[in-house]
Structure 1
Amino acid sequence: MSRNFLTVGKYLKLLSGFPFSSKYFSSEEGFPLIRIRDIQDSKIETYYTGPYFESYVIKNGDILIGMDGDFHVRKWQNSDGLLNQRILKVEVTQPDIISLRYIYYWLLPYIKKINDVTAATTVKHLSVKDLQKASGLLPDVKKQEKAAEILETIDQTIEKTKALIQKHQQIKQGLMHDLFTRGVTSDGKLRPARDQAPELYKETPIGWIPKKWGCKALETLLSSAPNNMRSGPFGSSLLKSELVEDGIPFLGIDNIHIEKFIPIFHRFVSLNKFKQLSKYAIRKDDVIITIMGTVGRCAVVPQYLDLALSSKHLWTMTFDKSIVIPELVCWQLNHAGWVKAWFRKQTQGGIMDAIQSKTLKTLKLPLPPYNEQVAIYERYKNITQKIQTEQEHFFKLTKQKSGLMQDLLTGKVRVKVGE
């Protein structure tokens, strides 16, 4: 691909946002105001009721750059809004030399590089001068347009996939709520709602549930195995100096995400130390919840993990699998309204900065008959697998886009106009 060295900044028209007065800010009425925190997701949370110049009105599709903190380059994907301070709008002055569609993609790695090399000791600030001195090798404008078209096509596919994931996550949330409040009848259908068949339900401390279900404290569902609920080791039991570069994984909150165990390990103990601390060893199908840092994330230990050590930042629970299916407990700890309500009650409505053992042990959960749990779990597994498949497709697309950007923006792959 024939490419020419251009001082890109010379062809950019840059508009810095206006410092709109906060006395005119509103959360309900006025003209949408785009603040730096809004550009990443194109969301609107603030409105402006004061006077403004039309030149600061941003349209759908305009290119914006956040100039503080982590620098983000985004296309605005929402209704018209006002360009607030510390945001930059990017246009081109000579579209016969530089394509605006292409420069959006060109700016992504350029701005990322500035972000990565900027000292992180203080709040980072991007300067207009950083854009004005931008330069690089660019193909002619027709080839720029073709490259942009290819990247826009994969972007559209990524956005559609993302929307599909969000749709199925919403469907899953509604489905699981119905399954845990109505359950499944022997013919595989949802039980009629309480307002349709009140005789099928009973009132419990966590709300109305089917009559044949139990409402049990979490501690009564634990296995009879020793150390069925543990957190630790603490203090001198395991010193930082005793961690090793390779060995038995020592789990932390970074391994536990919402309904997902992340098998990326950064801390290890020796086999001898693991044996000394064996009461903190995990078991397959254990339910683990984070109790410090990001409190309340919960995942199930996967079958492939043979040996690992829990930590003081986690509660690790071994359930009696003849009574309850661990994945169903995990879903409730992550999402169920009755669980969140219990946690709020235990903190008197404040922010939970830790979870005490008593809070978990006395937590009441609905307990359907085991055969009904199996039917609920099958539905849970099916919708979860569908979402995971879409997420894997999404990650493949983003990886493909990254490779395409590298190829097209560096000229490694030639594009032919008219293809």
Structure 2
Amino acid sequence: MSELFAPPFARYQLSELAAPGTDSFVDGPFGSSLKSHEYVDAGVRLIQLQNIGEGEWRDENRKFITLRKFKSLERHGAIPGDIAIAKMADPVARACIVPPVAEQFVVVADCIRLRLDQSRFDTGFVVRAINSPYTRREAEKKAIGSTRIRINLSVLKTVGCLAPELSEQKAISRILDTLDTAIHETEAIIAKLKAVKQGLLHDLLTRGIDANGELRPPQAEAPHLYKQSPLGWIPKDWSVQPLSGYTAYEITYGIVQAGPHIPDGVPYIRTGDMAGDALIRESMLCTSRRIANSYARSEVRTGEIVMAIRATVGKVLPVPDDLDGANLTQGTARISPNGKTDGAFLLWAIRHSRAQKAIQLEVKGTTFAEITLGALRQVPVAAPMGIDEQCEIAKRLTAIDWQLALEKDKLAKQHCQKSGLMDDLLTGRVRVTPLLEGGAA
């Protein structure tokens, strides 16, 4: 056996992790002891199911009780550094560390507070171990209920958790903390890029770019550069046309009856294939060449645009290289830019809030939302009359989109790395000491 692999860690029942004393592992009071009408705007913070994520505290749901009320529930109190555990799914027995967003907390009926014996157990390690597949599987097996499972405190205390000696627990926590920090930093970059993208989308598609390659000043600062239009103020050398005015062919939908899936047939695009930032190739079905040929008018080409005209009405995505020659279903429409229109610009223009609002105004139905092709063709879109400006606007928006995609890909890899490390390190399948020694070498 390799020196990196050793027998799994020792198994402890969760009750064995608790600090000495009768009140170190408790759940919340009975519902009759704490009513919702006793909640106040400030005071002692409640820990509720909504606050407990898998390894993270969720701070959005904020409820309090008075200090006087807390005195009668003091046994159920919690402080920063304790562990909060959810009795109910989803998922059951998820845990997080109570953060220092308040000095004093109290758990409600569906939550549990665990105070560790810190002479033997590290909080960061234990929270991750409770959320690990090893402990989660046992908790789910011992939980009760069919529609929404739950686990009571006495049963949770018997659930198993794997742990090494304290020094190794702390080393594992440091490694995973470092990776968590990297993940949070990437998430912060993504959030910032999303905000920049939205701001840029608004500015570029309402102000445009002047001859010097700069954003035009806002209309309020330079009214002489703008004119009124059905969509509001637009630059003077822009125009507003119906969407059909920017297309080479008539906007049309695709196959009505695609028939059974043909593995080697012609792929066709459904609204369900448009769930993310790009068409999901893996989930697509294929139809026969005969059926596809009978719907040649809806055959899409690279550089064209596909729009959802049912369900997620207004969602637009570009047709990638590997779907050149694919077809559509009745719930999607083909938009083919003409020679005076940059396809990437038109994609962004349709995504802009002005076009989206115009689209939503034409949506019919509540349980089954859709827009007719006739209404879609008349949706007003603002664009520069010169294609060079269109191309420059699209170039800048596409650049930030690519940057955002790279960061999302990085985040996915970090999560994958974290998942693999947690599986190895939290079970003892890979011991941390040889890893650290290898890193030092």
TM-score by length of 1: 0.84
Gaps of 5+ in 1: none
Is 1:108 aligned with 2:125? no
Distance in 2 of aligned mates of 1:120 and 1:294: 35
Determine the C-alpha separation between the residues in 2 that align with 1:246 and 1:75.
Answer: 52
| Deviation (angstroms), 1:162 | 0.3
Q: Secondary structure at the match of 1:261?
A: coil
The change in CA–CA distance for 1:184 and 1:413 in structure 2 (over 3 A counts) is same
Is contact 1:295-1:352 (8 Å) kept? no
Deviations 1:154-179 (Å, cap 9, x if unpaired)? 00110011001101110111111111
Quote the offset at 1:46 in angstroms: 4.6
Deviation at 1:83, TM superposition (A): 4.0
Contact 1:64–1:88, Cα closer than 8 Å, also in 2 = yes
Alpha-carbon separation, structure 2, partners of 1:308 and 1:348: 28
Q: Is the contact made by 2:254 and 2:295 (CA closer than 8 Å) also made in structure 1?
A: no
Report deviation, 1:56.
4.3
Matched ranges for 1:332-371 at <5 A: 332-334=349-351, 336-346=352-362, 353-368=369-384, 369-371=386-388
**1:199 alignment partner in structure 2:** 224
Higher CA-based Rg: 2
TM-score (norm 2): 0.80
Query: Quick one: structure 1 residues 17 and 351, their matched pair in 2 at CA, closer, same or farther if it must change by over 3 Å?
Result: farther
Letter in 2 for 1:405: M
- Residue 8 (structure 1) aligns with: 14
- In the TM superposition, 1:275-314 aligns within 5 A as 275-314=293-332
Aligned to 1:375: 392
Residue segments in structure 2 that go unaligned for 5+ positions in a row: 1-5, 19-23
User: Which deviates more, 243-252 or 194-203?
Assistant: 243-252
1:402 and 1:310 map into 2 onto residues whose CA distance is 37
Match of 2:170 in 1: 145
The change in CA–CA distance for 1:331 and 1:258 in structure 2 (over 3 A counts) is: farther
- Give the Å deviation of 1:35: 4.3
Two-structure CA RMSD over aligned residues (Å): 3.3
For 1:392, which of 406, 409, 423 is the aligned residue? 409
1:326 is aligned with what amino acid? G
| Alignment correspondent of 1:411 | 428
Please list, as runs of the form range in 1=range in 2, the aligned pairs for 1:173-192 lying within 5 A after superposition.
Answer: 173-192=198-217
Which residue of the other structure, out of 230, 245, 258, is the alignment partner of 1:238? 258
Number of equivalences: 407
Corresponding letter in the other structure for 2:88: M
Identity %: 23
In structure 2, give the amino acid aligned to 1:79.
V
Superposed displacement of residue 21, structure 1: 3.1
Q: 1:167 to 1:85 in 2, by over 3 A?
A: farther
2: CA distance between counterparts of 1:205 and 1:17? Answer: 59
Where 2:357 maps in the other structure, the secondary structure is: helix
Moved more, 259-268 or 213-222: 259-268
Q: What is the distance in 1 between the residues matched to 2:325 and 2:79?
A: 55
* Cα distance change, pair 355–401 in 1 and its aligned pair in 2 (3 A): same
Structure 1 residues 33-42 or 273-282, which shifts more?
Answer: 33-42
State the alpha-carbon separation in 1 of the partners of residues 379 and 267 from structure 2.
30
